[in-house]
Amino acid sequence: MSVVEGVLLATIVPLLLLLVKAPTAWDRLLAYNSAANRVTAVLAISSVLSNRAVLLDVAIVYAALSFIGVVALARFMERGEGFR
Amino acid sequence: MIGTILAACGAVLVAVGTFGIVRFRDVYSRLQASGVSDNAGLALVLLGAILHEGWAPTDWTLLFLLLLMLITNPIATHSIAKSAFVQRHTGEDSP
């Protein structure tokens, strides 16, 4: 299970690079969405491995807040007033 | 044991999806790679975390987290795709 955690942490790194140098704003938003999903899964696995139930609540709040942020940014950029 | 196998399958799916996100050209192809692999892979990883070492009381929270991600992840992907499509066809620099 810790190998799975390491693989998930390693896949965050190219997404963060893409978050810096992607061509359009939607690519960056997509990279942020994927990185947030991986962080949620890493928190869940870490809570199972170390028997800390608090990290599960942190994971739920993180997933909900990242979902709200991504949808709000997407709806904001849909109207053409967003940043390129 | 079966939880570890499921989590390993999910990690492989997530790794392949990340490779696709980095290698593809435009935003729709990246959305394809991200949407499919994130949903299936992270659901498999969370299922593996649930089945890890039997049933514990905190697994209800993990099950809720799995349901939350299975519901919100396609909504976020569809929202990004619709945003890119609408902005491309009605925005200022549309062809």
ipTM of model: 0.87
Q: Which of B6, B53, B87 to mutate to test the interface with A (most CBs of A within 10 A)?
A: B87
Q: Which residues of A touch B10 (CB under 8 A)?
A: 4
Q: What is the pTM of this model?
A: 0.89
Q: Which residues of A touch B17 (CB under 8 A)?
A: 34
Task: Summarize the confidence of residues A58-81 as an average pLDDT.
Answer: 90
Task: Summarize the confidence of residues B54-79 as an average pLDDT.
Answer: 91
What gap in Å lies between CA B20 and CA B4, rounded to an integer? 24
**Strand ranges (E), A34-76:** none
Q: Quickly tell me which residue has 């949808």 as its tokens.
A: A71
Rg (CA), chain B: 17
Nearest 5°: phi and psi at B37? -75, -35
Q: Which residues of A touch B87 (CB under 8 A)?
A: 77-78, 80, 82
What gap in Å lies between CA A71 and CA A29, rounded to an integer? 10
Instruction: State yes or no: pLDDT of A82 exceeds 60.
Output: no
